[in-house]
Structure 1
Amino acid sequence: MRRTTYRGAMTLARCAALLVCLSVALPSEAQPDQSNSGTTSIRLGAGRVRAGERVRAEGRTTDAGLMRVERLRAKDADGSVRIEGQITEIDHELSTVTLMEFTVTVTSTTRILDGDQALPGLAALRAGDRVEVRGVIDAERTVTADRLRRSPVVGNPRDELEAPIDRVIDQDTFELLGRRMVLVLGVSFIDDRQGASKIGQLRRDDDEQQVDGIRLGSWGVIGGRLQGTYSTISNAALDRTSVRDTEVRSAAQVVGVADLGPKAQVYAKVEVGRSHALGSTQAPLRDLRVKEANARLHIVGPVELQAGRVRLRDAFEWFADDYLDAARIVVSADQTRVEFGGSYGFRVPNGRSRSDERQVFATITHEFNRSLVVSSFFLGRDDRTRRERPMWLFVETSGRGSQFRYWGNVAARGGRSQNEVLRGWAFDGGGALRTRGGLWLTASVARGSGDADRSDRVDRTFRQTGLEDTQTRLAGFKRIHSYGELMQPDLSNLRVFTFGLGWQGAAASFDAVLHRYRQDVPYRTPADTALLIRPTGMDGLLGHEVDGVLTFRLRTGVDLTVTGGTYVPGPAQVRPHRPAFLLKSELLYFF
């Protein structure tokens, strides 16, 4: 026991020393070129825009007059400019309005509208109205309006400027209509230009490299990834046997999207893999999975229908990240997205088909601004095998700034089984702060309720939906399990305290994370985990886990990730017990 613990401690110490050395040796950020010598373009993921090209910048204007751009769209040139914001002044004698410090001249040929309805003239507008202006601009930055349209103010809308880029200052700063634009961390980029790459339609995850796919003329694109993984887990039983399970897996995933006219699109994601347990006499396992195969049909306005095998997912993968055979309606506005639908069966992680469950689901997400995004999720299930009808309601909030981010999620479970009333609740909240050295410090707490009274006919233990992956990004490039890469517990009768330290540079990142686990109500039956947890039922402290995740972006399209972890059982574990260890390396090539 002492020798195993000593070896584990030495391994963790070496990993910690390596991570600290990397954080000191590598720069905290990729520094832009401030000299402006030859800087003529801005690189955004797989997209690029250059001086002279037309863009639409959406963001917040500061008191200093610069705009912090939260969304940037590349547009085709049309010879006009577009400004959208609130009117600050109207001069009826000169027939001008002022918005965002631009003077806009209204002529006798200017169309003045409220939505699609014509207004009698400039007298119908008031200071404080939000308007969209389209027109031409002269050398003195005065805009002559061809059209002036009043639009409703909903929430806290962004200011918008659309025009050719005057000049590029560095990779994060440029000038538009004489105003300085600064790209915020995590700026959203959309390429609306005709003939632009369809990379966004490949729907790559946010921890994957956003490389271009292979274009199929003007109607489609294919892409995907090749994956090689080596993983070994030592002593998953947490006893003295110290059995080591080692697996090697290779996989190829192909994603394709094709337009079937202006209102229809088909999408498919197929993965073929091969897994082999080293030291085993069994033949390698081969599998073929159709993860997604669906069609999208635009119905009217912002409404579309999606049917087939679809992906249901939330940002934290706390509610769901799974593939359903379903049909759903999607309504997308500028800052709001609504989905609702139903499914019959779904694909569980090991690939078995479950057709004994019928489900209905609904989601709504509204982005008030970058600092506040609110989402709500509902799932109702008719499980005819377990003879229960559970329901879940989730509410997730999150936000971020240049030096911080936070989240706060709550959930409730209800419904009935054959013999019991189902109840339960859970929450997960935390925040991260960026230090001057570029390190991110993270702290969070999560809790899933337990049942202190098991003699009645009410089950108060919270259980997740079974669709979740519970993976999120902390500071690094890659998503990691929110509650531990080695233990991977369900949030059921459990409290998890998490502390993290992370860093991300131009071509490397790391996360070092500590988890502390305690049962909400001490009980001999644990939550589902990847380890053989055997609680005594007397003490609630299950144990601690330390994880380290190191990722290198070796080149465009190639990622190497090394993950290490150690779980040390606590006093709640039946003795004798020993720690468990994880070592995993993964090489990905995106195409």
Structure 2
Amino acid sequence: MGAEVEVRGKFRPDGSFLADRIEVDPKGDRGEELRGTIESVDPQAQRLKVLGFTVQVWPDTRLSRESEQPVSFEDLAPGLRVKVEGRRFPGGAFRAKKIRIRQNLYPEQKIVGPVEAIAPSGVGLAILRVLDLPVVVNVMTDLVAENGPRRPAISVGLTSGDEDDLLITERNQIGDHLAVLGELRIRDENLSNPDLDTSVVDGQDVPALFGTVGFLTEFDSFLAYAEALGEHDHYFPKDTSSVDNESGSARGGQAYIRLADFPAPGLSLVVGRQKFYETRRWYYDNRNLDAVRLFGEHGRVAFQVSLSRDLFDETRNQRDQDATNRIAEVRWDLRRDLALQAFYLNRDDRTELRNSPEILGLRVLGDPGTHLEFWADLAHEAGTRGRLDSTTGEIIVRDVRAHALDVGLTYRPRIVLDPSFTASFALGSGDDQLTLPSGQQPHGADGTFRQSGLQRNRGSLNGVVSFHYYGEVLDPELTNLRIQTLGAGLRPGRPLSLDLLFHRYRQDVPSRRLENTELDAKPSGLDPHLGSEWDLVVGYEPRKEFELRLTGGYFQPGKAFPADATPSTIATVQARFRF
């Protein structure tokens, strides 16, 4: 999203714009334009209708013919073909800076502007939003970029923006109603010294192979999708006295049907095993859940609600299998550069532990102007949480009252090499009852924030690939933790990016617990300073069908660990092929 495009096409009866050709402008400096015939003229209000837009002519609007001869408003008449340069305001009105009467009167229709949203829409189809118009892209649309014309590659997914979705291209379609698509990933991960103790040889090197094949069919408002997954891992421990081992599996992935405009126009019902994804992956991402899910959209507001559970995947952790999930999300695009989202997650656990969080979240996303992007996530957790007391064997269930936030800002000066600079801060609250002596019972509500268990905490800044934005080595859950991050990146070309990040970690309340990290070492619980980490991320994606990703991390332990604790490192390389 954000790329500036010129779209040539025609309007369809439903008001959408069917694209014959889309040209991507790599410079992105043309602004917004309309090219079409004048439909009506209002001399009193000094307004025109062009391509359905109300075009306001101001005293400083420059009016001319193609020969640069000046004209007056009275020369603008219905049926004339014009090029309008200007800016669209909220509500749809177009403020004209320049209007030029074109000599050739052939009925060409074009719009120029940034891509505001992308959404998949079945086999070989996608919907772009340009100038707030739904632009339909299909297999007959020519996409022209710096490397010349080619067909668009469209991702399969119930929500847009997920880099892990498979792609529909012209090559993997069979007729008008069927597509067979797939992906192959080759990865090698090398983790060293996860116990932060060099006197013990630990860590491992894990080459892995992953494959996915998907089948998609669509007839009018009916869509069905199913996929099969396979993976193979080989574990080579760094301790030469240990034996290497390997594992592999083949299983079903997503399998669902979608009914568009059901049970009412503007709604879609999806039933079956499906992926849950949101853009920052802070609440949930990439977990296949068996669900009944309803999507809806009205104007600038989109929403989804669902009821889900993990019924069949025995390889997943027990928490997922024991919980019934109620998830809701609403997004309101206040204007082109500002969006507001709200999230609700309830994971109802009927076991004795009653680990049933209720998370209510609010998110603001913005990119005002051309240099800044920002985000802010605020979350409150309620519900209940239980644990087994190791001394008494009793299960202690407490109410939860906790909070979390994640805020950040990225600055792009838009100069050579396209550098970017990011600063962010994240906090997951802790609870002083965690430090009670053994056998002493906690009282009051639990103030420790826990993420949903469905999160992945992955994202990208100005790069072409995503990474763990809380650190590649530590990669923690945001619980009882404060994380400060500084980042700098380069984008020397559209397919290549480099990011360097620095993280500083501090517990909110000193504790011996550190949730869901790559480390085997435990902090002392006496000092909150966990340490710091440097990460390097290199991404190369010359086209959507191929991606190369290299990541490295170096974690330096802090005072929360023993004085002789030594650094831990990780290095990962991954190549992905989509077909």
TM-score (norm 1): 0.71
Secondary structure of the residue that 1:572 maps to in structure 2? Answer: coil
Give the match for residue 484 of structure 2. Answer: 497
* Change over 3 Å in CA distance of 1:307–1:544 after alignment to 2: same
* Change over 3 Å in CA distance of 1:183–1:362 after alignment to 2: closer
* Change over 3 Å in CA distance of 1:360–1:51 after alignment to 2: closer
C-alpha displacement at 1:230, in angstroms? 0.9
- Does residue 393 of structure 1 match 2:379? no
Alpha-carbon contact 1:358-1:383 (below 8 Å) kept: yes
Give the match for residue 296 of structure 1. Answer: 258
Secondary structure of the residue that 1:576 maps to in structure 2? Answer: coil
Give the match for residue 408 of structure 1. Answer: 376
Which residue, out of 544, 549, 554, partners 1:566? 554
Task: State how 1:484-523 maps to structure 2 within 5 Å.
Answer: 484-504=471-491, 505-523=493-511
C-alpha displacement at 1:193, in angstroms? 5.1
**Take 1:340 and 1:492, find their aligned partners in 2: how far apart are those partners?**
26
Secondary structure of the residue that 2:397 maps to in structure 1? Answer: coil
**Take 2:162 and 2:331, find their aligned partners in 1: how far apart are those partners?**
18
Give the match for residue 431 of structure 2. Answer: 451
C-alpha displacement at 1:586, in angstroms? 0.6
**Take 2:314 and 2:421, find their aligned partners in 1: how far apart are those partners?**
32
- Does residue 374 of structure 1 match 2:361? no
Give the match for residue 481 of structure 1. Answer: 468
1:102-143 CA distance string (max 9 Å, x none): 79xxxxxxxxxxxxxxxxxxxxxxxxxxxxxxxx96236499
* Change over 3 Å in CA distance of 1:556–1:142 after alignment to 2: closer
Task: State how 1:65-104 maps to structure 2 within 5 Å.
Answer: 67-68=31-32, 90=45, 99-101=54-56
Give the match for residue 112 of structure 2. Answer: 181
Identity of aligned residues (%): 25
Alpha-carbon contact 1:542-1:573 (below 8 Å) kept: yes
| Partner amino acid, structure 2, of 1:218 | D
**Take 2:192 and 2:93, find their aligned partners in 1: how far apart are those partners?**
55
1:75-118 CA distance string (max 9 Å, x none): xxxx986989x9895489xxxx9931479xxxxxxxxxxxxxxx
Give the match for residue 411 of structure 2. Answer: 433
**Take 2:108 and 2:515, find their aligned partners in 1: how far apart are those partners?**
58
* Change over 3 Å in CA distance of 1:100–1:349 after alignment to 2: farther
What runs of 5+ residues in structure 2 fail to find an aligned partner?
Answer: 12-16, 23-28, 59-76, 101-106, 119-127, 130-134, 142-150, 386-395, 435-441
Task: State how 1:319-334 maps to structure 2 within 5 Å.
Answer: 319-321=283-285, 322-334=287-299
* Change over 3 Å in CA distance of 1:194–1:388 after alignment to 2: closer
Alpha-carbon contact 2:56-2:93 (below 8 Å) kept: no
Alpha-carbon contact 2:281-2:457 (below 8 Å) kept: yes
1:524-574 CA distance string (max 9 Å, x none): 222331112421222111000111011123566222211111000001113
Give the match for residue 136 of structure 2. Answer: 191
Alpha-carbon contact 2:162-2:277 (below 8 Å) kept: no
Give the match for residue 519 of structure 2. Answer: 531
Give the match for residue 179 of structure 2. Answer: 221
Which residue, out of 66, 79, 93, partners 1:138? 79
- Does residue 336 of structure 1 match 2:301? yes
C-alpha displacement at 1:402, in angstroms? 2.2
* Change over 3 Å in CA distance of 1:494–1:410 after alignment to 2: same
Secondary structure of the residue that 2:180 maps to in structure 1? Answer: strand
| Partner amino acid, structure 1, of 2:398 | E
**Take 2:183 and 2:110, find their aligned partners in 1: how far apart are those partners?**
41
C-alpha displacement at 1:269, in angstroms? 3.4
* Change over 3 Å in CA distance of 1:49–1:256 after alignment to 2: farther
| Partner amino acid, structure 1, of 2:555 | Y
**Take 1:392 and 1:199, find their aligned partners in 2: how far apart are those partners?**
36
* Change over 3 Å in CA distance of 1:52–1:340 after alignment to 2: closer
Task: State how 1:544-559 maps to structure 2 within 5 Å.
Answer: 544-553=532-541, 557-559=545-547
Alpha-carbon contact 2:54-2:94 (below 8 Å) kept: no
Secondary structure of the residue that 1:278 maps to in structure 2? Answer: strand
**Take 2:474 and 2:108, find their aligned partners in 1: how far apart are those partners?**
54
**Take 1:142 and 1:349, find their aligned partners in 2: how far apart are those partners?**
60
Alpha-carbon contact 1:68-1:184 (below 8 Å) kept: no
TM-score (norm 2): 0.72
| Partner amino acid, structure 1, of 2:231 | G
Give the match for residue 390 of structure 2. Answer: none
**Take 2:245 and 2:512, find their aligned partners in 1: how far apart are those partners?**
37
C-alpha displacement at 1:191, in angstroms? 3.3
* Change over 3 Å in CA distance of 1:278–1:525 after alignment to 2: closer
* Change over 3 Å in CA distance of 1:82–1:327 after alignment to 2: farther
C-alpha displacement at 1:424, in angstroms? 0.6
| Partner amino acid, structure 1, of 2:271 | A
Give the match for residue 12 of structure 1. Answer: none
Secondary structure of the residue that 1:290 maps to in structure 2? Answer: strand
RMSD between superposed Cα atoms in Å: 4.0
